[in-house]
Amino acid sequence: MINRRHFLKVMPPALALSGYPVHGFTKDAVDGRIIIIMLQGGMDGLLAVPPIGDDDLFKQRKALVAANPLKLNPLFGIHPNFKNFSRLLKINEASIVHATSFPYTGRSHFEGQNISQIGLRKPFSVDTGWLGRAMDVAKITGKAMSLDAPLLIRGAMEFDNFYPASISNTSKPKNDLLNLIKNSHDEDMMKTFEKLNQSLMQGSDELRARDPLSLASKAGEAMRHNDGPRVAVLTIPEFDDHSSIGSTTGHHPDLFTLLDSVFGQLKKSLKETWKDSIVLTTTEFGRTVQENGSEGTDHGYGSVGLLAGGLIKQSSVVANWPGLSNKALFEKRDLYATIDYRSVCAACIEAAFGLDHGLIIDKVFQDKNIKRTYHHIFG
């Protein structure tokens, strides 16, 4: 029988593209692009971006610190597998937010993933995602192309979802079906579906690519066009490492390499559009500060967010570092999240969609206590 944890492990990487400018509706559309990389399972932020200047790190963790992190500044380093991301940091096109999390301390994947997508404090309280609502407010509409439109981009506005299923002996979606969908819409929407149909017919095989690197390439190619999607959501699963997580090498470091390649591929395939883009990671929670008995880490609270894109002007690590002494830990075991990650998401929406912070926290996150991090991330 498949259990929940196993289900999480076998969920495939996926890509959803959304926010295609609809003819006659988004003529004044913003140029910004947002790409979310959902790191499912809970990324270990202390392994990815170790606070090498905090002596308590080495007291709390005996094995799970990479042997040769790249020093970013006196307090923080980064895992050596993040080579592309480090280069982006060096050229002021990336930033890091540490000791951060969505407002969730329950340590359940299902609740945590739901909160990271709906952006509200109570899990399963709405059926729309924070990015979808942001697109609604910014009046960025259009269709999603995905096997399963993630909750993150579902908004209140009309929304359709289409992805050609891989059924044996069908290499391309059937023309009749595509035309049926197209003809069920009027005017502007019909034109948009015609455009989508054409792209599906031309590149349907590529769309079936399921590895994150190919999906990143596909996302960049689609988004770099003027009439391409404004939003993409990529998922990289399998971060739920309870045992043999690895330090310099191993499973988590391999995932860092993969994530790093995705950043590199996005920059490459977005080309000129990179300057108008922001890529950010989300994860449902961090992992425990101390390693467990099987050289893994368990579900925790605070983690790290990685951001890259041409919209960033000055690289930095943004953190209200809580420390790693026993006293400083959340419930004596987890990194305290001192920054609500929704404030980071809000800053990305502000930078890419040009919305006012007050409007974002009111309409998108429905929490007026979310502070503004725009200055710290985008300068």
Taking the C-alpha atoms of residue 278 and residue 274, their distance in angstroms, rounded to an integer, is 8
- CB-CB neighbours of 320 under 10 Å: 11
Decide if residue 76 touches another protein (CB under 8 A). Answer: yes
Q: Of 59 and 71, which CB lies nearer to another protein in the complex structure?
A: 71
Subset of 183-222 contacting another protein (CB under 8 A): none
Binding flag, residue 319, another protein (CB under 8 A): yes
Q: Is 275 in the site for another protein (CB under 8 A)?
A: no
Determine, following the binding rule CB under 8 A, whether residue 316 of this chain makes contact with another protein.
yes
Q: Token digits for 55? A: 């002596």
- Using the 8-state DSSP alphabet, how is residue 273 labeled? G
The rounded distance, in Å, linking the Cα atoms of 137 and 269 is 28
**Is position 248 an interface residue for another protein (rule: CB under 8 A)?**
no
Token digits of residue 322: 């809580």
Select from 104-112, 153-161, 288-296, 366-374 the region that touches another protein (CB under 8 A): 366-374
Q: In the complex with another protein, which residue's Cβ is closer, 135 or 361? A: 361
Alpha-carbon distances, residue 181 vs 62, 80, 171, 186 (angstroms): 57, 48, 19, 11
Q: 83, 121, 191, 208: which one contacts another protein (CB under 8 A)?
A: 83
Per CB under 8 A, the segment of 54-62, 126-134, 226-234, 319-327 that binds another protein is: 319-327
89 binds another protein, rule: CB under 8 A: yes
If the CB atoms of residues 14 and 262 are measured against another protein, the closer one turns out to be 262
The reply to whether 75 sits near another protein by the rule CB under 8 A is yes
**Separation between Cα atoms, residue 299 and residue 239, nearest integer Å:** 11
Q: Which of 260, 295, 298, 296 is nearest to 279 (CA)?
A: 260
303 beta partners: 100
Show the site string, 34-73: x = touches another protein by CB under 8 A, - = not. Answer: ------------------------------------xxxx
Dihedrals φ, ψ of 294, to 5°?
-115, 30
Q: Does 378 contact another protein by CB under 8 A?
A: no
Segment contacting another protein (CB under 8 A): 4-12, 37-45, 147-155, 370-378?
370-378
The residue from 9, 23, 87, 242 that contacts another protein (CB under 8 A) is 87
Asked if 47 and 64 count as a contact pair (C-beta separation under 8 A), the reply is yes
Residue choice 166, 243, 320, 369 for contact with another protein (CB under 8 A): 320
- Integer Cα distance of 76 and 95 in angstroms: 12
Report the nearest approach of another protein to the CB of residue 146 (Å): 31
**Spatial separation of the C-alpha atoms in residues 319 and 376, rounded to whole Å:** 10
CB of 56 to another protein, least distance (A): 17
379 near another protein, judged by CB under 8 A: yes
State both tokens at 137: 């407010």
- Is residue 317 a contact point for another protein (CB under 8 A)? yes
**Phi-psi map region of 209: left, alpha, beta (phi>0 left; psi -120 to 50 alpha):** beta
Selected range binding another protein among 4-12, 59-67, 206-214, 309-317, rule: CB under 8 A: 309-317
Using the Cα atoms of residue 278, residue 45, residue 344 and residue 234 in order, give the sign of their dihedral: positive
**Residues in contact with 162: Cβ distance below 8 Å, sequence separation at least 6, in sequence order:** 143, 144, 145, 181, 196, 200
Which one of residues 4, 5, 59, 90 is an interface residue with another protein (CB under 8 A)?
90
CB closer to another protein, 183 vs 314: 314
Q: Which long-range contacts (CB under 8 A, 24 or more apart) does 159-165 make?
A: 159/132, 162/196, 162/200, 163/207, 164/200, 164/204, 164/207, 164/208
Q: How far is the CB of 267 from another protein (least distance, A)?
A: 10
The 334-353 contact track toward another protein, x by CB under 8 A, reads: -----x--------------
Residue numbers at the binding site for another protein (CB under 8 A): 70-73, 75-76, 83, 86-87, 89-92, 314-321, 339, 371-373, 375-376, 379
